[in-house]
Protein backbone atom coordinates (compact mmCIF):
# COMPACT_ATOMS: atom_id res chain seq x y z
CA UNK A 1 0.00 0.00 0.00
CA UNK A 2 1.03 3.62 -0.53
CA UNK A 3 -0.04 6.72 1.38
CA UNK A 4 0.12 10.08 -0.38
CA UNK A 5 -0.47 13.57 0.98
CA UNK A 6 -1.08 16.21 -1.70
CA UNK A 7 0.70 13.89 -4.12
CA UNK A 8 3.75 13.49 -1.88
CA UNK A 9 4.71 9.93 -0.84
CA UNK A 10 4.36 9.51 2.91
CA UNK A 11 4.55 5.74 3.33
CA UNK A 12 5.00 2.57 1.30
CA UNK A 13 4.52 -0.86 2.79
CA UNK A 14 2.30 -3.89 3.22
CA UNK A 15 -1.16 -3.83 4.78
CA UNK A 16 -1.08 -6.36 7.63
CA UNK A 17 -4.11 -5.90 9.88
CA UNK A 18 -7.23 -4.35 8.39
CA UNK A 19 -9.92 -4.28 11.10
CA UNK A 20 -13.25 -4.44 9.27
CA UNK A 21 -15.22 -3.53 12.38
CA UNK A 22 -13.47 -0.21 13.08
CA UNK A 23 -11.79 0.19 9.67
CA UNK A 24 -8.53 0.81 11.44
CA UNK A 25 -5.62 -0.40 9.33
CA UNK A 26 -2.08 -1.37 10.26
CA UNK A 27 0.76 -1.61 7.76
CA UNK A 28 4.39 -2.66 7.85
CA UNK A 29 7.16 -0.70 6.15
CA UNK A 30 9.45 -2.18 3.52
CA UNK A 31 12.33 -2.30 5.99
CA UNK A 32 10.42 -4.98 7.91
CA UNK A 33 9.71 -7.17 4.89
CA UNK A 34 11.38 -10.52 5.53
CA UNK A 35 13.94 -10.93 2.78
CA UNK A 36 16.86 -13.27 3.43
CA UNK A 37 20.43 -12.05 3.11
CA UNK A 38 21.64 -14.40 0.34
CA UNK A 39 24.18 -14.34 -2.44
CA UNK A 40 23.59 -15.38 -6.07
CA UNK A 41 23.95 -19.08 -5.23
CA UNK A 42 21.41 -18.92 -2.40
CA UNK A 43 24.01 -19.13 0.36
CA UNK A 44 23.97 -16.79 3.34
CA UNK A 45 26.10 -13.67 2.86
CA UNK A 46 27.40 -10.97 5.17
CA UNK A 47 28.12 -8.58 2.30
CA UNK A 48 25.50 -5.82 2.28
CA UNK A 49 25.70 -4.83 -1.39
CA UNK A 50 25.37 -8.45 -2.47
CA UNK A 51 22.42 -9.08 -0.16
CA UNK A 52 20.67 -5.88 -1.30
CA UNK A 53 21.14 -6.64 -5.00
CA UNK A 54 19.96 -10.23 -4.68
CA UNK A 55 16.92 -9.23 -2.60
CA UNK A 56 16.00 -6.64 -5.26
CA UNK A 57 16.33 -9.31 -7.94
CA UNK A 58 13.86 -11.42 -5.97
CA UNK A 59 11.30 -8.61 -5.87
CA UNK A 60 12.25 -6.37 -2.94
CA UNK A 61 11.06 -2.98 -4.27
CA UNK A 62 13.80 -0.89 -2.66
CA UNK A 63 16.46 1.25 -4.33
CA UNK A 64 20.05 1.81 -3.23
CA UNK A 65 21.18 4.92 -5.16
CA UNK A 66 23.69 5.85 -2.45
CA UNK A 67 25.49 2.56 -2.97
CA UNK A 68 25.29 1.40 0.63
CA UNK A 69 27.88 -1.34 1.01
CA UNK A 70 30.00 -3.01 3.64
CA UNK A 71 30.83 -6.30 5.29
CA UNK A 72 29.19 -7.26 8.56
CA UNK A 73 31.72 -8.48 11.11
CA UNK A 74 31.49 -12.20 11.86
CA UNK A 75 31.55 -15.54 10.08
CA UNK A 76 28.09 -16.94 10.84
CA UNK A 77 26.70 -18.84 7.89
CA UNK A 78 23.22 -19.20 9.40
CA UNK A 79 20.37 -17.78 7.27
CA UNK A 80 19.19 -14.38 8.49
CA UNK A 81 17.00 -11.60 7.20
CA UNK A 82 18.35 -8.57 5.44
CA UNK A 83 16.93 -6.50 8.29
CA UNK A 84 19.01 -8.44 10.83
CA UNK A 85 22.10 -7.93 8.67
CA UNK A 86 21.44 -4.19 8.50
CA UNK A 87 20.86 -4.07 12.27
CA UNK A 88 24.26 -5.64 12.85
CA UNK A 89 25.99 -3.31 10.39
CA UNK A 90 24.32 -0.24 11.89
CA UNK A 91 25.34 -1.48 15.34
CA UNK A 92 29.00 -1.79 14.35
CA UNK A 93 29.10 1.58 12.57
CA UNK A 94 27.03 3.63 15.05
CA UNK A 95 24.41 4.52 12.44
CA UNK A 96 20.68 4.06 11.86
CA UNK A 97 19.10 2.54 8.79
CA UNK A 98 15.71 2.32 7.15
CA UNK A 99 13.67 2.69 3.95
CA UNK A 100 12.03 6.05 3.26
CA UNK A 101 8.70 6.82 1.59
CA UNK A 102 10.42 6.96 -1.80
CA UNK A 103 11.46 3.33 -1.32
CA UNK A 104 15.11 4.35 -0.91
CA UNK A 105 17.53 2.77 1.56
CA UNK A 106 19.36 5.03 3.98
CA UNK A 107 22.16 4.43 6.48
CA UNK A 108 23.11 7.57 8.37
CA UNK A 109 24.70 8.82 11.55
CA UNK A 110 22.62 10.90 13.93
CA UNK A 111 22.47 14.57 12.90
CA UNK A 112 24.39 17.22 14.81
CA UNK A 113 22.23 20.23 13.88
CA UNK A 114 18.46 20.68 14.34
CA UNK A 115 15.92 20.83 11.54
CA UNK A 116 13.01 21.79 13.80
CA UNK A 117 12.62 24.07 16.83
CA UNK A 118 9.79 24.02 19.36
CA UNK A 119 8.23 27.10 20.86
CA UNK A 120 9.09 27.67 24.55
CA UNK A 121 7.07 25.45 26.87
CA UNK A 122 5.56 23.34 24.06
CA UNK A 123 7.43 20.17 25.02
CA UNK A 124 7.74 18.38 28.35
CA UNK A 125 9.98 15.32 28.19
CA UNK A 126 10.46 13.29 31.33
CA UNK A 127 14.06 12.11 31.75
CA UNK A 128 15.19 8.70 33.00
CA UNK A 129 18.42 6.76 33.34
CA UNK A 130 16.64 3.53 32.40
CA UNK A 131 18.35 1.82 29.49
CA UNK A 132 21.21 4.31 29.62
CA UNK A 133 23.93 2.09 31.07
CA UNK A 134 27.34 3.69 31.40
CA UNK A 135 29.17 0.48 30.56
CA UNK A 136 28.78 -2.34 28.05
CA UNK A 137 29.67 -6.00 28.66
CA UNK A 138 29.83 -7.50 25.16
CA UNK A 139 29.82 -11.30 24.91
CA UNK A 140 31.38 -12.66 21.72
CA UNK A 141 32.99 -15.71 20.14
CA UNK A 142 36.61 -15.73 19.04
CA UNK A 143 37.91 -18.98 17.64
CA UNK A 144 34.85 -20.72 19.04
CA UNK A 145 35.67 -19.57 22.58
CA UNK A 146 33.25 -17.35 24.49
CA UNK A 147 34.78 -14.13 25.80
CA UNK A 148 33.69 -10.70 27.10
CA UNK A 149 34.93 -7.15 26.62
CA UNK A 150 33.98 -4.36 29.02
CA UNK A 151 33.76 -0.79 27.73
CA UNK A 152 32.67 2.43 29.40
CA UNK A 153 32.61 3.70 32.96
CA UNK A 154 33.56 0.80 35.27
CA UNK A 155 31.82 2.49 38.21
CA UNK A 156 28.45 2.70 36.44
CA UNK A 157 25.67 0.26 35.57
CA UNK A 158 26.66 -2.45 33.09
CA UNK A 159 24.43 -3.68 30.27
CA UNK A 160 25.00 -7.08 28.63
CA UNK A 161 25.19 -7.18 24.82
CA UNK A 162 25.15 -10.47 22.92
CA UNK A 163 27.40 -10.49 19.84
CA UNK A 164 27.54 -14.28 19.54
CA UNK A 165 24.93 -14.38 16.74
CA UNK A 166 27.60 -12.92 14.47
CA UNK A 167 29.71 -16.07 14.78
CA UNK A 168 33.42 -15.58 15.36
CA UNK A 169 34.82 -12.05 15.57
CA UNK A 170 38.11 -10.71 16.88
CA UNK A 171 38.58 -8.95 20.22
CA UNK A 172 39.33 -5.74 18.32
CA UNK A 173 36.05 -6.02 16.39
CA UNK A 174 34.08 -6.74 19.58
CA UNK A 175 35.69 -3.74 21.27
CA UNK A 176 34.87 -1.44 18.36
CA UNK A 177 31.24 -2.62 18.21
CA UNK A 178 30.83 -2.15 21.97
CA UNK A 179 32.24 1.38 21.68
CA UNK A 180 29.76 2.23 18.91
CA UNK A 181 26.82 0.86 20.91
CA UNK A 182 27.91 2.85 23.95
CA UNK A 183 28.37 6.05 21.93
CA UNK A 184 24.89 5.73 20.40
CA UNK A 185 23.20 5.14 23.75
CA UNK A 186 25.15 7.88 25.51
CA UNK A 187 24.28 10.43 22.82
CA UNK A 188 21.53 11.82 25.03
CA UNK A 189 19.32 11.18 28.02
CA UNK A 190 16.68 8.49 28.26
CA UNK A 191 13.07 9.63 28.02
CA UNK A 192 9.75 8.37 29.34
CA UNK A 193 7.25 9.99 26.96
CA UNK A 194 6.53 11.46 23.57
CA UNK A 195 4.63 14.66 22.80
CA UNK A 196 1.86 15.78 20.45
CA UNK A 197 2.41 19.15 18.79
CA UNK A 198 0.30 21.47 16.66
CA UNK A 199 1.60 23.55 13.78
CA UNK A 200 1.86 26.58 16.09
CA UNK A 201 4.26 24.77 18.42
CA UNK A 202 7.06 23.77 16.06
CA UNK A 203 9.02 25.79 13.50
CA UNK A 204 11.79 25.38 10.99
CA UNK A 205 15.24 26.67 11.95
CA UNK A 206 14.42 29.70 9.82
CA UNK A 207 11.43 30.54 12.00
CA UNK A 208 8.56 29.61 9.68
CA UNK A 209 5.87 27.12 10.65
CA UNK A 210 6.94 23.54 10.15
CA UNK A 211 5.17 21.37 7.55
CA UNK A 212 4.20 18.67 10.01
CA UNK A 213 3.98 15.89 7.45
CA UNK A 214 7.64 16.42 6.52
CA UNK A 215 8.94 15.70 10.03
CA UNK A 216 10.65 12.32 10.14
CA UNK A 217 12.43 10.01 12.51
CA UNK A 218 16.19 10.51 12.42
CA UNK A 219 15.90 14.31 12.29
CA UNK A 220 16.97 16.54 15.18
CA UNK A 221 14.57 18.60 17.27
CA UNK A 222 15.68 21.57 19.37
CA UNK A 223 13.57 21.92 22.51
CA UNK A 224 13.23 25.11 24.55
CA UNK A 225 11.54 25.35 27.93
CA UNK A 226 13.21 22.56 29.93
CA UNK A 227 15.51 24.72 32.10
CA UNK A 228 16.59 22.06 34.59
CA UNK A 229 17.55 19.55 31.91
CA UNK A 230 19.10 22.19 29.67
CA UNK A 231 21.18 23.50 32.56
CA UNK A 232 22.89 20.12 32.78
CA UNK A 233 24.26 20.65 29.26
CA UNK A 234 25.26 24.26 29.88
CA UNK A 235 22.81 25.53 27.25
CA UNK A 236 19.35 27.07 27.21
CA UNK A 237 17.97 24.31 25.02
CA UNK A 238 18.16 20.57 24.42
CA UNK A 239 18.71 18.80 21.11
CA UNK A 240 17.07 15.38 20.72
CA UNK A 241 16.97 12.99 17.79
CA UNK A 242 13.44 12.03 16.77
CA UNK A 243 12.86 8.31 16.90
CA UNK A 244 9.21 7.99 15.88
CA UNK A 245 6.54 10.24 14.37
CA UNK A 246 2.79 9.93 13.84
CA UNK A 247 1.06 12.60 11.77
CA UNK A 248 -2.74 12.96 12.11
CA UNK A 249 -3.98 14.73 8.99
CA UNK A 250 -7.54 15.58 10.06
CA UNK A 251 -6.28 17.15 13.31
CA UNK A 252 -3.09 18.55 11.73
CA UNK A 253 -1.01 17.39 14.70
CA UNK A 254 2.11 15.30 14.98
CA UNK A 255 3.23 12.95 17.72
CA UNK A 256 7.00 12.91 18.28
CA UNK A 257 8.95 10.37 20.28
CA UNK A 258 12.69 10.77 20.93
CA UNK A 259 15.24 8.01 20.52
CA UNK A 260 16.23 6.32 23.76
CA UNK A 261 12.62 6.33 24.96
CA UNK A 262 12.19 3.79 27.73
CA UNK A 263 9.43 1.19 27.18
CA UNK A 264 6.34 1.95 29.22
CA UNK A 265 3.39 0.12 27.61
CA UNK A 266 3.04 -3.66 27.50
CA UNK A 267 3.57 -3.59 23.72
CA UNK A 268 6.77 -1.53 24.11
CA UNK A 269 8.14 -3.81 26.82
CA UNK A 270 7.45 -6.86 24.64
CA UNK A 271 9.10 -5.24 21.58
CA UNK A 272 12.17 -4.30 23.63
CA UNK A 273 12.63 -7.95 24.53
Is residue 270 predicted with pLDDT exceeding 60? no
Rounded to 5°, the CA angle 220-72-149 comes to 85
Using one digit for the tens of pLDDT, what is the confidence trace for 194-251? 899 999 999 999 999 999 999 999 999 998 876 545 545 667 788 889 989 999 988 9
Cα 129 from Cα 146, distance rounded (Å):
30
Q: How far apart are CA 256 and CA 251, in angstroms?
A: 15
Q: How confident is the model at residue 263 (pLDDT cuts 50, 70, 90)?
A: low
Amino acid sequence: MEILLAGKPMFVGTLTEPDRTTWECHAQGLAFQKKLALDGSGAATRDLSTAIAEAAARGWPVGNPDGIAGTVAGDSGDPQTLGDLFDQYAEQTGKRWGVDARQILFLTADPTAPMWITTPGAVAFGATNEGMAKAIAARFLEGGVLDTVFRGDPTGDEEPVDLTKRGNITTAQATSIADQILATRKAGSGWVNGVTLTRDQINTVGGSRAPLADIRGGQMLRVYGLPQLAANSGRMYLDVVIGKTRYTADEDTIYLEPVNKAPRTAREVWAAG
